[in-house]
Amino acid sequence: MQKQLFNAAFRRKTLVIEEPRFAAETVIIQGFRHSGNLFVESNVVAEDQHRIPPIRHRPWIVKNAVKRSLPVVVLVRHPMEVAATTFYRTTKEVVPDHPVRLFPWAVLGAWIGYHRSIMRFRKFLLILPFELIANDYLAGVRMIEDRTRIRMQADPDYARANRYGGDRWEVQLSWLSQYLLRKAEALYGMLVADGGQADMSRTSADRAG
CA distances from 161 to 41, 59, 74, 110, 156 (A): 17, 30, 23, 30, 9
Residue 138's pLDDT band (boundaries 50, 70, 90)? confident
Checking if the pLDDT of 43 tops 80, the result is: yes
Give me the mean pLDDT over the 172-187 stretch.
94
Q: Which CATH number fits domain 24-164+173-208: 3.40.50, 1.10.1060, 1.10.510, 2.40.128?
A: 3.40.50
CA distance 75 to 192: 10
Helix residue spans in 37-135 (DSSP H): 37-42, 59-67, 79-89, 104-118, 130-135
pTM for the predicted model, two decimal places: 0.77
Mean pLDDT across the chain, nearest whole number? 78
CA distance 190 to 178: 19
- pLDDT tens for residues 141-172? 889 999 899 888 876 565 555 454 445 556 78
- pLDDT tens for residues 83-118? 988 888 777 666 666 667 788 999 999 999 999 999
72: β partners: 28
